Amino acid sequence: AAELEYESVLCVKTDVNVYRIPPRTSNRGYRASDWKLDHPDWTGRLRVTSKGKTAYIKLEDKVSGELFAQAPIDQYPGIAVETVTDSSRYFVIRIQDGTGRSAFIGIGFTDRGDAFDFNVSLQDHFKWVKQETEISKESQESDTRPKLDLGFKEGQTIKLNIGNMMTKKGGAAKPRASASGGLSLLPPPPGGKVVVPPIPPPSSTAIANHVTPPPLLKSSNMSNADILLDLEGPASASKAPTSAPTDLWGDFSTASSAVPNQAPQQSNWVQF
């Protein structure tokens, strides 16, 4: 896995000074004022690279790019890189060679901005390393936890109730009246009166066909049978033959003789 990792460049500074520092006699920290700041022991280029979770401080020649010294860093802040107590432009780093030997040297930047970029590049790298460590730890913990079996067992079913698609008896539900489509009857306004349409007058044909039955005489001696006979009277009369008489003037004389209380006719009138 280490062979597959690629090296990325985090920071490049073209001007850096290297100093030999005296051994530290107390735990109070390093002081840049104890160094010979006017006479650096080496001057060159600094590159901060990363490969995997490890960062490297590489001191290289400005022209040829030949490696002068290298300081691998596993954590920051830590023993591999330390700041001095009296300045923000100077640091103490631990360089190592391929044989496992190490030494502490001092580095310094003439520009305070270069020192700030160097510090921030190391902080950002190890902040990313911390996040990756936490993510991998959480993934390992999730793998060890028992997984929930959310699948259906054999013969297991579920019932979904989506709105009112089906009634309790299994029939189709009544359609809902939608406000966007279809017609709906509005209730009458408050205080309104319902107008009843007028009844059309009976036509002349209906009046002509309507026959008003004759009034029945109320009599105490009239029995139910007489009432029935009176009701059957018009029906029996309708069954009489309707042959027209040969003598039209005879009907008038018959009708006049049938009147009981008719006054005696004048002599000058002709009897029909």
Is residue 92 within 8 Å of 21, Cβ to Cβ? yes
pLDDT at position 168 over 90: no
Of 58, 61, 36, residue with least CA distance to 48? 58
Q: How far is CA 50 from CA 11, 40, 72, in A?
A: 10, 27, 9
For the chain, how many residues are written? 272
The token duo for 20 is: 């030999």
Task: Give the tens place of pLDDT for each residue, 81-132.
Answer: 999 988 999 999 999 987 878 999 999 999 999 999 999 999 999 999 999 8
Q: Examine the pLDDT at 25 and tell me if it is beyond 80.
A: no
Summarised one tens digit per residue, pLDDT across range 213-272 is 555 555 445 555 455 455 555 444 444 444 444 555 555 555 554 445 544 545 555 554
Bigger pLDDT: 109 vs 192 = 109
pLDDT band at 138 (very low <50, low <70, confident <90, very high): confident
The CATH code belonging to domain 7-138 is: 2.30.29.30
Cα(211)–Cα(164) distance, integer angstroms: 61
Euclidean distance between CA atoms 152 and 154, whole angstroms = 7
The number of angstroms, rounded, from the C-alpha of 45 to the middle of its chain's C-alpha atoms is 58
Place of tokens 């009599």: 219
Residue of 71, 74, 78, 69 lying closest to 54 (CA atoms): 74
Give the angle subtended at the CA of 91 by the CAs of 87 and 97, to the nearest 5°.
165
107, 94 in Cβ contact below 8 A? no
Query: What integer pLDDT is reported at residue 198 of this predicted model?
Result: 65
> What residues form DSSP beta bridges with 139?
none
Cβ neighbours around 121 below 10 Å, total? 20
Per-domain residue ranges of the chain: 7-138
- Report the chain's mean pLDDT, rounded to a whole number: 73
The pLDDT value recorded for residue 155 is: 80
Residue 152: its pLDDT value, please? Answer: 77
Q: What angle do CA 108, 12, 2 make, to 5 degrees?
A: 110
Q: Is pLDDT at 182 greater than 70 in this prediction?
A: no
Is pLDDT of 171 > 70?
no
Quote the DSSP letter at residue 17. Answer: E
pLDDT band, very low/low/confident/very high, at 175 (cuts 50, 70, 90):
low
Evaluate whether 56 touches 73 at the Cβ level (below 8 Å): yes
3-state secondary structure at position 85: coil
DSSP three-state, residue 104:
strand
